Structure formats: C-alpha cells, structure tokens
Amino acid sequence: MFQISEVLKKVPFFRSLGKDGISFIVERLKFKPFDADEIICKIGDPGDRMYIVISGKVKVIVKTKDSAEETIIAELSGGDYFGEMALLTGDPRSASVITTEPSEMFILNKDDFDLVAERFPSITLSMGKIMSQRLRETLQKAAKKTPDKVATGVKGSLAERNLVDIFKFCESNSLNGKVIVQSSNQKGIVHYKKGVLQKVELGELKDDEALDVLISWKEGSFVVEPDPLRLDPQEQAAKAAPAEPIQLVIINASMVVQKMLQQTFEKIGYSVYAVENKQKGLNLIKKLQPNVVVADVKLPDSNGVDLVKSVREFSNVPIVLLTEERNREEFRSKLSEFKDLGFTKTQELSEIMLAVQQIGH
C-alpha cells in the first residue's frame, strides 16, 4: 500500500523524525503532477524548495557554456529526491531537472522546512551526518565566502573553479559517479552515489586526509564522470511486474467530496470507487474486498457508527471515518470495541491522506 510516511523515510535525514515529525512534514507537503518533458527547475533558478519523486522519472542535466548539448548526471525515480541542499544554503540551482515521463512530486518549500527544522532540530543534525561532517563544514564555509555560481560544465581547470564548488555541485544534483582530480603527477578520485560522498581515493591517505589535500590544490584539472544509466536486475523486475493498485472505497453523500478524494488518491496510485450511501457501500465492500474504506459519519441512510458495525459483521477492512475535533472522541468512544479504525481531526485533504496511510500500518 502507498504510504506517505514510507516515501518520506526514503529521504535519509527524515528517518530521524518520529511519528509527530513525519506528520508535521506531511501537513506542509505540496502535491504536484508534471507532464513528460516538463521542466521542473532550471539552472540559475532560486533554490527555495526540495522535491520528492512519488512516481515517474526525471533527469538531472547540465550544459556547457559553449554548447547546447546536455549531459545527464543523474536519473531519479520514485522514492528519490533532489534540491535538499537548497533548503540549507538557498543557493541557485546548478543544474536543470526535466521529467522523462509523466511524474508526480511532493514539494517542500524552504519556509516550511525552516519550521520543521525549528521544531525538530534533529533533522539538521541528520543532514550533517549523512552528507559527511567534514565535507558539510567545508561547503558551508565556502558558501559564505564565495557568491559564485556552481560550474555548469562537467570538466575544467582548478585555476578557474574552486574544487569545493564542484563537490557542492555533485551533492546538490544527486550525482551517481565520480570526480577525477589531477594535479601534477597526482590523481584523486571522489566517488558519489545519489549525491552522497562514498569514498575518496588519493594514494594511501584516509578519506578525510585525502579530501583536505584535494581541496588544497590550486592548479590542475577535474572531470565529473556520471555512471552509465541502467536499471539493476531488481529494478527491472519491479518495472516488469508492477504492484497491484490499492483499492479504496469512498462512502460520502457529497459529490464534491467524492470527486476531490477520488482525484487526490488516483493521482498517487489508488483505484478509487465512490458511492453515496451505506447500502451501496456495503454491497461494494462485499464485492471488491478493498484495502481501505473512507466514510463520512453522516449518510442519507445511516451514520458512521452503524456503518462500522455493519461492515464488521463480514469484513475487517481498515476504515477511516471523516470526523472533526468536535466529534472525534465521541465516535472513538462509541466504536472503541472495534479495531483498524481511523478518525480524522479535520476534513482537509492532507489530514485524510495522513489518516489513510496511518491505518495501513
């Protein structure tokens, strides 16, 4: 089952957050679909938001100054993310990101991220650990000292471009590959996986020592070499055998609410069926045996309590009741004997989505 929390937990620095932290972020996420070949962000755009890929695929590209030819430095798909460095630095985009097929994203704006970081400081600590404490400190110092934009090419001279900028470029653009640095007769290699520093090679030096030496070089050259883009066997198998869609039944007398919920959940991979009363809902649940039910507590021929009791006579399907703060505890008390029930605090879309994903645990 699609779980918003599971998508967020694929972002390493969100893993340190508990249930409250994840919920706090979910409330601030913006959902946006993109068509194929649509530009999500361009080189030089403000770095004021982070993107999490729900479905689809995007390419991260750079262009040399003297040519219109583009170089793909990364390809991202469902569960991947980009733009996270912008949440800390606010620097302009150093690469463009373009969809290669219809895609859907969660977007977290910097202002909202700042609220999350203020309330849950552990998130910034996690970011520091993941990005490598030594490299993170270097990049932060460099960001304060140099206002220059990151290089937009994939090779160049150390005399013209600070190597720290190149490392920052690789971090912020989720590079899968390596940076080869040469100076005189010495050669260093910095390895990246999805923008995270993995290893630094320079003779027999340890990673931190090698990194210090490379950064000190003022002359020489660098080349950014992305890995070939290919699916691993597990990913190919997953693509060849997509998971069955999650079936959601909506029971609500309002056509507006039906459509709103149907469109929202279909966009994130659910198969949605909507009916307007209890009897039709019971018939549909018996026929489909869905994964989850979302129902209003006021129905033309019944109410939330009677609906749950009737469903529990033949099914243990998880049910989310659309309650509010004023009546939530009342319904929770009346239905305390039953399991696998969720009760919303409000009837906002983000709250309903959160309740649906929580009931699946």
Q: For residue 247, name the pLDDT band (cuts at 50, 70, 90).
A: very high
| pLDDT surpassing 80 at residue 256 | no
Of the spans 29-33, 128-132, 149-153, which averages the highest pLDDT? 29-33
pLDDT for the residue 202: 92
Assess contact for 246 and 2: CB atoms under 8 A. yes
- The lowest-confidence range among 149-163, 184-198, 263-277 is 149-163
CB neighbourhood size of 306 (10 A) = 12
Distance CA 177, CA 197 (A): 10
pLDDT recorded at residue 182: 92
Range scoring the smallest mean pLDDT among 41-50, 156-165, 282-291: 156-165
Spatial contact of 114 and 51, defined as CB atoms under 8 Å apart:
no
| pLDDT exceeds cutoff 80 at 125 | no
In this predicted structure, the answer to whether residue 201 has a pLDDT above a threshold of 70 is yes
Give the integer Cα–Cα distance in Å for 331 and 43: 52
| Residues 270 and 263 sit within 8 Å (Cβ to Cβ) | no
Q: What average pLDDT does the structure give for the chain?
A: 80
Q: Which of 17-31, 35-49, 75-89, 221-235 has the highest mean predicted lDDT (pLDDT)?
A: 35-49
162 or 352: whose pLDDT is higher? 352
End-to-end alpha-carbon separation of the chain, Å? 9
Convert the chain into a string of H (helix), E (strand) and C (coil): CCCHHHHHHCCHHHCCCCHHHHHHHHCCCEEEEECCCCEEECCCCCCCEEEEEEECEEEEEEECCCCCCEEEEEEEECCCEECHHHHHHCCCCCCEEEECCCEEEEEEEHHHHHHHHHHCCHHHHHHHHHCCHHHHHHHHHHHHHCCCCCCCCCEEECCCCCHHHHHHHHHHCCCCEEEEEEECCEEEEEEEECCEEEEEECCCCCHHHHHHHHHHCCCCEEEEEECCCCCCHHHHHHHHCCCCCEEEEEECCCHHHHHHHHHHHHHCCEEEEEECCHHHHHHHHHHHCCCEEEEECEECCEEHHHHHHHHCCCCCCCEEEECCCCCHHHHHHHCCCCCCEEECCCCCHHHHHHHHHHHCC
Give the pLDDT score at 79. 81
| Confidence (pLDDT) at 74 | 81
Distance between CA 121 and CA 38 in Å, rounded?
Answer: 35
Contact in structure between 297 and 321 (CB atoms under 8 Å): yes
pLDDT bucket at 114, cuts 50 / 70 / 90: confident
pLDDT grade, residue 143 (50/70/90)?
A: very low
Instruction: Say whether pLDDT at 72 is over 80.
Output: yes
Per-residue tokens: 261: 């919920």
- Rounded CA-CA distance 20/345 in Å is 14
Q: Which of 139, 123, 159 is nearest to 211 (CA)?
A: 139
In the numeric block, which tokens belong to residue 17? 């957050």
* Residues whose CB falls within 8 Å of the CB of residue 219, separated by 6 or more in sequence, listed in order: 158, 159, 183, 184
Alpha carbons 119 and 358: distance in angstroms, whole number: 22
Specify the pLDDT at position 146.
41
Find which of 217-226, 256-265, 273-282 is predicted with most confidence, using mean pLDDT.
273-282
Would the pLDDT of 5 be above 80?
no
Per-residue pLDDT of 298-348, as tens digits, reads: 999 999 999 999 999 999 999 999 998 889 999 999 999 999 999 998 877
How is residue 259 written in tokens?
């459509």
Higher pLDDT: 125 or 189? It is 189
Predicted structure pTM score: 0.44
